[in-house]
């Protein structure tokens, strides 16, 4: 794990998924700061505030009420202020069209939500350990889809 703490945002309307994610992040490294949002509208309201600390990474669900994760991704990527923020699509969908669309629209990695705790922990640990500066510069279709 990186020696410095990370600021992590999770955007997911499923409360059970939020709780599991929070448990995993705390287990991996308690000093990480996790903020959770139940939809993309809440996230964007927070991100658009003046003096906030931007996250290192946003885990973004695709299927949410009001504004979809895909639309939120487009909004994030259209703002130069968020250029250095990594976005991990974190979804139950493994549809090729969702993977392709989010790749084209600037997500850094696509993760299909694991269905058990051990796999979730392994996935989150591995994603948080990615050297994002290197990963962004060499982004291609092969490195985009994360598979446990």
Give tens-digit pLDDT for 39-70: 999 999 999 998 898 999 999 999 988 899 99
Beta-sheet pairing, 57-60 with 86-91: parallel
**Does some domain include residue 2?**
no
2/124: higher pLDDT: 124
Question: What is the structure's pLDDT at 127?
Answer: 87
Cα-based torsion angle of the residue sequence 105, 126, 114, 62 in order, rounded to the nearest 10 degrees: -20
Q: What is the CA radius of gyration of the chain?
A: 14
Query: What pLDDT is stored for residue 54 in this prediction?
Result: 93
- Predicted confidence (pLDDT) at residue 79 exceeds the cutoff of 90: yes
Looking at residue 140, its pLDDT comes to 53
Q: What is the CATH number of the domain that holds 55?
A: 3.40.50.2300
3-state SS, residue 79:
coil
Domain tally, the chain: 1
Task: State which residues form the domain around 113.
Answer: 7-146
Tokens, residue 13: 């309307």
Inside any domain, residue 67:
yes
19 found inside a domain: yes
pLDDT at 139 over 70: no
Any domain includes 103: yes
Residue burial 35-45, b: 16+ Cβ < 10 Å; e: rest: bbbbbbebbbe
Predicted pLDDT of residue 147 = 54
CB 2 within 8 A of CB 86: no
Residue 19, pLDDT score: 95
- Confidence category of residue 2, pLDDT binned at 50, 70, 90: very low
């Amino acid at each position: 794990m990186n020696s410095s703490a990370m600021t992590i945002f999770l955007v997911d309307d499923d409360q059970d998924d939020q709780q599991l994610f929070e448990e995993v992040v705390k287990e991996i490294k308690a000093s990480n700061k996790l903020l959770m949002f139940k939809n993309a509208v809440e996230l964007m309201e927070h991100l658009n505030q003046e003096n906030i600390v931007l996250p290192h990474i946003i885990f973004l669900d695709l299927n949410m009420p009001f504004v979809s994760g895909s639309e939120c991704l487009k909004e994030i990527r259209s703002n130069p202020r968020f250029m250095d923020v990594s976005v991990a699509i974190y979804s139950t969908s493994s549809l090729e069209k969702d993977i392709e669309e989010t790749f084209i629209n600037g997500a850094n990695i696509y993760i299909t939500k694991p269905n058990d705790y051990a796999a979730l922990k392994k996935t989150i640990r591995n994603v948080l350990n990615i050297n994002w500066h290197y990963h962004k510069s060499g982004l291609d279709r092969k490195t985009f889809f994360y598979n446990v």
